[in-house]
Amino acid sequence: MRRDTLPYHVVELRGLACILLVAYHVVGVPGTGMQVEDGSLYRYATSSFELIRMPLFTFLSGLVYALRPAAGGALPSFFAKKLRRLGFPFLVVSTLFYLVQTHAPGANGSFAPNAMWEIYVYSYAHFWYLQSLFLIFAFVALLDAARLIDRPVPFAAALGLAMIGCQTIHTESNPFSINETFVLLPHFLLGVAVTRFRDRLPRRALLGTAGGALLLGLALHQASLLGAIHHYFGWNSAVALLCGMGGAVTLLHAMPSSAVFRTVGKSSYAIYLHHAFFTAGARVLLHKLGYGDAAVFGVALLAGLAGPMMLEAAAQLRPWTRVALVGKA
């Protein structure tokens, strides 16, 4: 097998992550989205994947990054590519989203900051992930350029420190989504490890450990959701690490080939960037027409997937729209 390929269905897994994400934003948190009751099946279903969704996205980013990691002499080029891929769409799409959110009826504008500049500095809507992912890429690239994590023992030490930081580091103001950066860094590093050291990681032991971690994490998380234990497990909890890391490795090996998931996965970045425009539009329209929750959920989910795909195809027609809307050269 070539060293620049992976023996997994990564694109399909991105598609699955996209579907889970769009479904979550269709339902929304209390006060947003479909505004269903806390005890509804929709809220329970999306909450069940709360500790897996974003860790899975981040794990896959680390997995693919490790195929072509940053090198010392190529750092300027690496950062330029990440700014184009993440920075330009972040500025453009978050601005458009803020204007829609604060001016369009029914768009939950009360959750937008009063000052527009805050959306570029602090965590805002789903665009916080672009801030966090850029910081993660920057941090890991610097470690790689200095050759500090190219061997198993120092890499394991870095991963261990990242797991500790995930559970302990927190800032009140959260500039540039630094809190989420520390939360997701272990998942990115785990993805790097699975690619970088895959010849040294016995498949049976890896899957056994991941599966056990996932089962334990899911059991505790479900007990919390169902009220069996009165404790909320946040993103920076040990249970979140069990679910996120165990779930990512397990799903990586379990994900089959699928034309549907592969089609969605090929447009995963465009879907992440733009899905909220289409889900919100479909939801507002269907609510005004008096449709029930099942129709709203189904149509809005489909709109959140298909709409960004069509937008991505249209963006390919001009160089500036490719960069501004989907971060492509």
DSSP 201-223: S-HHHHHHHHHHHHHHHHHHHHH
pLDDT of res. 104: 74
pLDDT of res. 107: 59
pLDDT of res. 109: 54
| Burial class, 297, CB count within 10 angstroms (exposed 0-12 / middle 13-18 / buried 19+) | buried
Report yes or no: 196 and 66 within 8 Å, Cβ to Cβ: yes
Profile the chain (329 residues) by mean pLDDT over runs of 10 residues: 73 97 91 83 94 97 96 90 96 95 68 90 95 98 96 97 97 96 98 95 93 98 96 96 98 96 97 95 92 95 98 94 92
Q: What is the pTM assigned to this prediction?
A: 0.95
pLDDT of res. 110: 55
Report the C-alpha gap between 301 and 23 in whole angstroms. Answer: 6
Q: Which helix H or strand E contains 326, and what residues bound it?
A: helix 319-326
pLDDT of res. 4: 59
Tokens of 62: 């680390």
pLDDT of res. 226: 95
